[in-house]
Amino acid sequence: MRIFLDTANVEHIRKAAKLGIISGVTTNPSLVSQEGKADYQAAIKEVCSIIQGPISAEVLGEEVESMIEQAQDISTWAPNIVIKIPATITGLEATSILAKDNIKVNFTLCFSLNQALLGALAGATYVSFFVGRLDDAGHDGMQAVKDIVEVFNHYQLPTQVIAASIRHPQHCVAAAKAGAHIATVPYSVLMQMIRHPLTEIGVTRFLADWQRVSHQ
- The residues that are catalytic are 84
List the one residue from 130, 171, 174, 182 that touches ligand E4P (CB under 6 A). 130
**Total interface residues for ligand E4P by CB under 6 A:** 12
Considering the complex, state which of residue 6 and residue 59 has its C-beta at the smaller distance from ligand E4P: 6
Q: Does 6 bind ligand E4P (CB under 6 A)?
A: yes
Q: Does 139 bind ligand E4P (CB under 6 A)?
A: no
Q: Please give, one letter per residue, the 3-state secondary structure of the chain.
A: CEEEEECCCHHHHHHHHHCCCEEEEECCHHHHHHCCCCCHHHHHHHHHHHCCCCEEEECCCCCHHHHHHHHHHHCCCCCCEEEEEECCHHHHHHHHHHHHCCCCEEEEEECCHHHHHHHHHCCCCEEEEEHHHHHHCCCCHHHHHHHHHHHHHHCCCCCEEEEECCCCHHHHHHHHHHCCCEEEECHHHHHHHHCCHHHHHHHHHHHHHHHHHHCC
List the one residue from 75, 128, 159, 160 that touches ligand E4P (CB under 6 A). 128
Stretch that binds ligand E4P, among 37-45, 111-119, 128-136, 145-153 (CB under 6 A): 128-136
**Taking CB under 6 A as the rule, which mask of x and - marks residues 171-210 in contact with ligand E4P?**
-------------x--------------------------
Q: Does 165 bind ligand E4P (CB under 6 A)?
A: yes
